[in-house]
């Protein structure tokens, strides 16, 4: 009898949490979004070490993009948009673009590998450009009505550093550029956005 009481007292003193089986489910892997967010919060430590890897499985294929185009065409444009080509771009760092000469919508693969949930928004934005090429008041009105972003998006960590820095000889404003400028004048000093020889940009630095 005493032995049974002693056994019960020992069992009461045990921490039963120690006997709970460990979870066999591995922790969720760090996503590109969490890496980008961490780099944005701590740029000095992470900005140089982030690698944008490919996750092609999370992005819709070209056939699916055309199906989404057809669906949005009927939902928001009454089916009146002409057919276009759609393709992914591995070079561009922005979300998307539309060429009215080639009737081509390009979807930035690198951007959407980081933000795959924004691909429908990008597609709708570029579809508006088919009938409204500029971001004018009509474009903004239609974008607000169908729930599309007004401005094209680009993640800062995907931007390439400039190769050239040009400067205005008059006001000193600098213009970092990826490509060489031949006939370009300062947009601040030149009137009507027309080239003005007096304010022609000069190469300040080659990076």
pLDDT at 134: 87
Distance CA 149, CA 125 (A): 6
For 76-135, what is each residue's pLDDT tens digit?
999 999 999 999 999 888 889 999 899 999 999 988 988 899 999 999 999 999 999 888
Distance CA 2, CA 97 (A): 83
**Could you tell me the domains of the chain?**
56-154 (3.30.2010.10), 161-206 (no CATH)
Whether 79 and 69 have beta carbons less than 8 Å apart is answered as: no
* Residue pointed to by tokens 């089916």: 79
pLDDT band at residue 33 using 50, 70 and 90 as cut-offs: very low
Whether 76 and 143 have beta carbons less than 8 Å apart is answered as: no
Q: What are phi and psi of 32, to 5 degrees?
A: -60, -35
Say if strands 85-89 and 104-108 run parallel, antiparallel, or are unpaired: parallel
Comparing 1 with 14, the larger pLDDT belongs to 1
Closest CA to 173 of 198, 207, 199, 197: 199
For 144-203, what is each residue's pLDDT tens digit?
999 998 876 666 666 667 888 999 999 999 988 878 888 899 988 988 768 889 999 998
Say if strands 164-167 and 104-108 run parallel, antiparallel, or are unpaired: unpaired
């Amino acid at each position: 009898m005493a032995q049974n009481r002693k056994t019960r007292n020992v069992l009461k003193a045990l921490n039963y949490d120690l006997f709970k089986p460990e979870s066999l489910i591995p922790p969720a892997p760090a996503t590109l979004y969490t890496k980008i967010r961490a780099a944005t919060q701590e740029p000095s430590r992470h900005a140089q070490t982030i690698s944008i890897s490919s996750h092609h499985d999370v992005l819709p294929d070209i056939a699916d993009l055309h199906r989404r185009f057809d669906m949005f065409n009927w939902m928001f444009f009454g089916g009146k948009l002409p057919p276009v080509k759609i393709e992914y771009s591995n070079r561009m760092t922005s979300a998307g673009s539309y060429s009215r000469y080639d009737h081509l919508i390009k979807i930035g693969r690198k951007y959407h590998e980081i933000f795959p949930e924004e691909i429908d928004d990008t597609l709708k934005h570029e579809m508006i450009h088919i009938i409204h090429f500029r971001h004018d008041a009509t474009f903004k009105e239609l974008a607000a009505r169908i729930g599309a972003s007004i401005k094209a998006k680009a993640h800062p960590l995907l931007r390439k550093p400039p190769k050239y820095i040009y400067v205005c000889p008059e006001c000193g404003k600098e213009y970092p550029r990826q490509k060489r400028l031949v006939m370009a004048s300062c947009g601040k000093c030149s009137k009507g956005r027309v080239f003005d020889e007096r304010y022609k940009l000069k190469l300040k630095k080659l990076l």
